[in-house]
C-alpha cells in the first residue's frame, strides 16, 4: 500500500509540474496578432495582421483523422527537420482550414521571412503568406473534436446571420493548447468576413 501511495504521489506531482510548465510556456509563446473590432453576444469580430505560416495540405476533412498527421509533419520541421537542422519556436494558435481537404498551419515567428526560413526536409511543407483580414470568432473550451467543431461553426453562422454579417466560406479551427494541458483550454472557430462587412464595421 505504501508503495502504491508513493507512486500515486509521484504521478500527481509530475502532473502538477506539467500543468505549471504548460501555463508558463503559454505566457511566453508568440501569438497570431489581432485587435478586436466589435463584440457581439457570443462572438466577436477581429482584424488580424498579415502573417507568414508554414502549412501542409492534408487529404481528409476530419479533425480526428488529420490533426495528428498535420501536427507531426509541421512539428518535425520546427524541431529541426530542415536543411539547417534549426529549431524554430512554437507559436499559437495552430490553425486548420475547415475544407474538404484540410490545411494545417503554424504561424512563423516574426523574426523570420520567406527568405530567411530554412527549407523543410519534407516537400509537402509550404510557406504561406496570409494577408491582413477581418474575421468573426467564437470560442469554446475543453478538447476539440469533430462534433464540437461543427457545433460551434453552426453557432457562429447563426449568430452572424442574426446580426446581418456577410461572411465567406473560409472557416478555420484554432487550437491554443498542447495536448497535455488540462486546464484553461481554448479553442476557436473563425471565418473570414467579406468586403461589404469590413466597410460596414469600419
Q: What is the pLDDT of residues 9-24, one digit of tens each?
A: 544 344 334 444 444 4
- The beta-strand segments (E) located in 24-144 are 30-31, 34-39, 44-48, 51-57, 91-92, 94-97, 103-107, 125-130, 133-140
Mean pLDDT confidence for 60-81: 95
Is residue 3 pLDDT above 70, yes or no? no
Mean pLDDT confidence for 32-61: 96
pLDDT in tens, 140-168: 999 999 999 999 999 999 999 999 999 99
Q: How confident is the model at residue 179 (pLDDT cuts 50, 70, 90)?
A: confident
Is residue 8 pLDDT above 70, yes or no? no
DSSP 144: -
CATH classification number, 32-201, choose in 3.40.920.10, 3.10.20.740, 3.20.80.10, 3.40.50.1470: 3.20.80.10
Q: What is the pLDDT of residue 202?
A: 46
Amino acid at each position: 500500500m505504501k508503495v502504491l501511495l508513493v507512486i500515486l504521489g509521484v504521478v500527481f506531482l509530475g502532473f502538477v509540474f506539467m500543468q505549471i510548465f504548460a501555463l508558463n510556456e503559454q505566457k511566453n509563446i508568440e501569438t497570431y496578432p489581432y485587435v478586436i473590432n466589435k463584440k457581439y453576444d457570443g462572438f466577436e469580430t477581429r482584424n488580424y495582421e498579415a502573417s507568414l505560416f508554414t502549412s501542409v495540405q492534408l487529404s481528409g476533412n476530419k479533425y480526428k483523422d488529420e490533426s495528428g498527421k498535420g501536427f507531426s509533419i509541421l512539428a518535425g520541421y520546427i524541431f529541426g527537420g530542415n536543411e539547417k537542422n534549426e529549431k524554430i519556436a512554437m507559436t499559437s494558435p495552430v490553425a486548420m482550414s475547415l475544407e474538404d481537404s484540410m490545411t494545417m498551419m503554424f504561424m512563423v515567428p516574426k523574426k523570420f521571412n520567406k527568405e530567411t526560413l530554412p527549407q523543410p526536409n519534407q516537400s509537402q511543407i509550404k510557406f504561406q503568406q496570409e494577408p491582413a483580414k477581418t474575421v468573426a470568432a467564437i470560442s469554446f473550451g475543453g478538447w476539440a473534436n469533430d462534433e464540437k467543431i461543427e457545433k460551434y461553426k453552426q453557432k457562429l453562422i447563426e449568430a452572424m446571420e442574426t446580426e446581418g454579417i456577410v461572411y465567406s466560406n473560409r472557416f478555420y479551427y484554432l487550437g491554443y493548447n498542447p495536448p497535455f494541458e488540462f486546464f484553461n483550454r481554448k479553442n476557436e472557430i473563425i471565418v473570414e468576413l467579406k468586403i461589404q462587412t469590413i466597410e460596414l464595421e469600419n
